[in-house]
A = this chain, B = another copy of it.
């Protein structure tokens, strides 16, 4: 349900917000920042080129208190009601004609001078695998005769990742070392990763969550999502190929993951909800615990996703970041509500600040690969760059930038803000 906060005619007295590609007044994403003058980290809201300090702004007392803690965990725990009320309040405070400019303006900080932090203390990080085109493409590389396993269309496949090594956008990622075994080699060697890759994912921040044993019905699952971000699940493909059986990826993934600093709320994304695309004929229906009519009707999203790359040579030559993939959240085989309900279906507890990754979201066409493994066909076909360079996998100095924008006729476009990080050479 959209409301007055989504009105595309709404304008803010924060001039940079009007027509802003990421953070117009219709967005209002949450994050954690330190102001230019220093001080404690606190929660804030992005508005144009500015950040509003939520711990000091004239918003509800429970929000102000939760915002002062240096992470969004307490805000996430408040749940959808207070978050919706906050959106309405912020929309009023920041809008032209809201009459609140005098009370609000002292608590605005220029974003360029602020330090942005990880939005929450991540309790557990779970990575799903709901991008079906990615699953097929990667399955083809690792299991040519058997790309999509029989469980894929029944189970929202997921696994536990490493919470401790998730870093906020802008933090460089060090190329990992690990055991690598070439197919023709007799034994593995320990060496710097030679097949470093990115993965284009949406991050899902958990709100109130559930107690151990309780579960979350799929029809109630959306109420446990606090917001969305962009996630780069860096992957060492050579380490992965050797280590991943039988228990799944481990050191190939846990050397670092990058999350965008801004948490786009479910409310901001409300206009961009779509029906879950119909399953191809012959695909099984989801089991009842994953099936909710409302979720089928409005549980998916139409959000454009991009991957850009900026190599060291491009940077030197003044060449702009080059887009190497364009995808969309509509290519998720399972909705976020299905992921959440499945995760809790065995009684596993979910907690405020838990992070879910969607898994890599590739489009079905060759311009929409969410990883280099797919774009280079397992390293066989070099991907050309405008600098004259090519990439099969990432090289030191490469910066990977993920972006997301939701657009729809009759609504203001909103963005997620960059998720970016540069590859450092191995130690």
Contacts and interface: CB of A to CB of B under 8 A. Distances in A.
Interface string A148-174: 010100110111111111010000001
Contacts of A160: 159-162, 250, 254
- Most chain B beta-carbon contacts within 10 A, residue among A123, A124, A250: A250
Contact of A288 (B162, B190, B244, B347): B190
A346 interface: yes
Given A160-B160, A351-B164, A187 B284 contact: yes
A371 to B, nearest CB: 15
Contacts of A181: 151, 154
Contacts of A213: 174, 255, 427
Interface string A198-236: 000000000000001111000000000000000000001
A139 B245 CA distance: 11
Nearest to A289: B190
Contacts of A159: 159-160, 247-250
Interface residues of A, number: 66
A367 B155 CA distance: 36
A167 B211 CA distance: 13
Contacts of A126: 250
A246 interface: yes
Contact of A158 (B151, B177, B250): B250
B188 A287 contact: yes
Nearest to A135: B246
A165 B212 contact: yes
A251 interface: yes
A227 B323 CA distance: 49
Contacts of A177: 215, 345-347
Contacts of A251: 342-343, 345-346, 348
Contacts of A151: 179, 181, 188, 242-243, 245
B246 A247 contact: no
A221 to B, nearest CB: 15
A247 B248 contact: yes
B129 A155 contact: no
B179 A154 contact: yes
Q: Which of A248, A288, A354 has the most CB of B within 10 A?
A: A248
A58 to B, nearest CB: 35
Nearest to A239: B346
A349 interface: yes
A127 B162 CA distance: 12
A178 B348 CA distance: 11
Interface string A365-404: 0000000000000000000000000000000000000000
A159 B248 CA distance: 7
Given A159-B249, A177-B345, A244-B248, 16 more contacts: A123-B163, A124-B162, A124-B163, A143-B246, A149-B246, A151-B179, A151-B181, A151-B243, A151-B245, A155-B242, A155-B243, A160-B161, A176-B347, A214-B427, A251-B345, A347-B427
16 contacts: A139-B246, A149-B245, A149-B246, A151-B188, A151-B243, A151-B245, A157-B246, A159-B247, A159-B248, A160-B250, A164-B349, A165-B212, A174-B213, A177-B215, A213-B427, A251-B348
